């Protein structure tokens, strides 16, 4: 039986730069650095973002951008604060998609290696209720 997501792994060119990105935007906590002894395929660091284990490994990142993304939930009251954090790093914020009236808000943005992230203010139950009424 599946319990939950174990972890998310992304491949990046510069682990230090990505670590700063994660810590600045997501308040990520660094919990592991393999620089002293590498156990995996390449140099890696582990972070915890909102209770989720996120592994960042050094390598050749994805070459093309797509809509595949990782989304984290944020309180709507902190939406503008997160926009400021993202803008502070100078990364690209992607225009949001058209929304159904009453649907939660999202911020879409790319990291330095073409990974798309989303910060979303709603829940699955919110979305389903909104869609059933639309």
* 129 within domain boundaries: yes
Other Cβ atoms within 10 Å of 43 Cβ, number: 14
Question: What beta strand segments (E) does 26-131 contain?
Answer: 29-33, 44-49, 52-58, 69-73, 93-94, 106-110, 116-120
User: Which residue among the candidates 16, 44, 92, 118 is catalytic per the annotation?
Assistant: 44
Question: Does any domain span residue 1?
Answer: no
Q: Look at the chain and report how many structural domains it folds into.
A: 1
DSSP for 20-38, written as a single string:
HHHHHHH--EEEEETTSS-
Q: Is residue 102 part of a domain?
A: yes
| Average pLDDT estimate for 91-114 | 85
Inside any domain, residue 104: yes
- Report yes or no on 17 lying in a domain: yes
Q: Rounded distance, CA 71 to CA 81, Å?
A: 17
Q: What is the dihedral of CA 90, 92, 73, 8, to 10 degrees?
A: -100
CATH number at residue 117: 3.10.180.10
Q: What is the pLDDT of residues 15-34, one digit of tens each?
A: 999 999 999 999 999 999 88
107 found inside a domain: yes
57 within a domain of the structure (yes/no): yes
What is the H or E stretch that residue 8 is in?
Answer: strand 7-12
Rounded CA-CA distance 129/2 in Å is 26
Q: How do residues 47-93 score in pLDDT, each as one tens digit? A: 999 999 999 999 998 999 999 999 999 999 999 999 999 999 999 99
Instruction: Give the alpha-carbon dihedral of 86, 87, 91, 94, to 10 degrees.
Output: 80
Average pLDDT over residues 1-11: 91
Residues 6+ apart with CB under 8 A from 42: 57, 58, 59
Structural domain boundaries enclosing 105: 7-133
Residue 5: φ, ψ to 5°: -70, 130
pTM of the model: 0.87
Q: Does the active-site annotation cover 81?
A: no
């Amino acid at each position: 039986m599946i319990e939950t997501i174990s972890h998310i792994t992304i491949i990046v060119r510069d682990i230090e730069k990505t670590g700063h990105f994660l810590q600045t935007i997501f308040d990520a906590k660094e919990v592991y650095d393999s620089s002293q002894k590498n156990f995996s395929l390449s140099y890696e660091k582990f972070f915890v973002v909102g209770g989720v284990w996120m592994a960042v490994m050094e390598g050749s990142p994805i070459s093309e951008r797509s809509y595949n993304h990782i989304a984290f939930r944020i309180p709507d009251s902190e939406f503008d604060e997160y926009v400021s954090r993202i803008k502070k790093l100078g990364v690209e914020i992607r225009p949001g998609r058209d929304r159904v009236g009453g649907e939660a808000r999202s911020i879409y943005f790319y990291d330095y290696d073409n990974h798309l992230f989303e910060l979303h203010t709603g829940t699955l139950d919110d979305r389903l209720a909104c869609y059933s009424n639309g």
